[in-house]
Amino acid sequence: MDKTVSVTIIFDSKKVQCEGQCGFDWSSPESVETVKKRVTERFGKTVMLELVDLSAAGKLNTDWQNRVEKENLNLPLLLVNNEIRIPGEFDVRQMMDAIEVELEIDGTAI
């Protein structure tokens, strides 16, 4: 049985990370759909992708907001199986690489 890899991207749609609009816009539905499609094409149903916007209400968001502030973490955060893999700006290739590494570690590489 294949193991499912949980990928979570935590961002804050109300904070401007870079004045030059650098980095990926995780608040853009079109961009996110493109990423979801690429992840599915590459990994199939092995990877579950979730986005968490800290500007939205909810206990999970409050918990993460508190941790971001306490640990002075840069957003966005890339979590793989609930472990922070990349704090701060990352591109889709870096995310795919992190997923691939996790699959290789678990022995379920595609």
Q: Given the structure tokens 């493109």, which residue do they identify?
A: 34
Q: Per-residue pLDDT tens for 70-81?
A: 999 999 999 999
pLDDT in the model for residue 64:
86
The values of phi and psi at residue 81, to 5°, are 50, 45
Number of structural domains, the chain? Answer: 1
Q: Give the containing element (helix H, strand E) for 110.
A: none
| pLDDT at position 1 over 50 | no
pLDDT in the model for residue 58:
73
| pLDDT at position 110 over 60 | no
Structural domain range at position 59: 5-106
pTM recorded for the entire structure: 0.85
The CATH number of the domain where 102 resides is what? 3.40.30.30
Q: DSSP letters of 51-88?
A: EEETTS-SHHHHHHHHHHHHHTPPSSEEEETTEEEEES
